Amino acid sequence: MAGVVEAELSTHYTEISQRLRNGNGHAKPDTPIDLRPPRRKPAPVPSLQAQITALEERMMAAEERIGFLMYCPKGILHKLLDVICANEGVSRIAIESQRRDHRAVIPRQLFCYLAITYTKKTLKQIGFVIGNRDHTTVMHGRDKIEGMILELPELAEKVAWYKERIALLTKDSNC
């Protein structure tokens, strides 16, 4: 791109210097000089069909990112996350953030376990709700909680309590 601009300016400079001089190398005294760089051609305007196609592609991408919310009014995952945040004493921002401290990680992993086990949502949808995390992160959270349930009976009781809440949340919807 820079080479093209340099070539255009070089050509423009040559044209100006030729206009300034006669054939014998002397300057013409009354020749008007245009020192402005040459105008670029405007970018072609895409056709109406191309604009419509681009808009449809953007709409489809947006629907894919938030499509699961269209089937549940607020989204079962968001409701579940709100319940976990309220009961664990953690803000939603902390769970969605990149923090790795124990206070945010355990509720996040608990959410992953409950969402996979008791909802019909995909790993991608679950990861999207907790800060756009990868599906493998969601699977790791599930596996961690499954291991901890076997070791900690109080966690098993907590999961049973959350299971009851999920049953109440999903009672009216097909989530």
Read off the CATH number of the domain in which 79 is found.
1.10.1750.10
pLDDT higher than 70, residue 170: yes
Cβ burial 29-45 (10 Å sphere, 16+ → b, else e): eeeeeeeeeeeeeeeee
- Residue 139 in domain: yes
Instruction: Judge if pTM exceeds 0.75.
Output: no
Reported as a single tens digit per residue, the pLDDT across 116-160 is 998 888 999 999 999 999 999 999 999 999 999 999 999 999 999
The domain tally of the chain equals 1
- Residue 59 in domain: no
- Residue 74 in domain: yes
Other residues' Cβ atoms within 10 Å of the Cβ of residue 80: 25
DSSP output for 100-134: -SHHHHHHHHHHHHHHHHHS---HHHHHHHTTS--
Q: What is the pLDDT of residue 70?
A: 45
The mean per-residue pLDDT over the stretch 107-124 comes to 92
- Residue 143 in domain: yes
- Residue 62 in domain: no
- Residue 91 in domain: yes
Query: In which domain, by residue range, is 114 found?
Result: 67-170
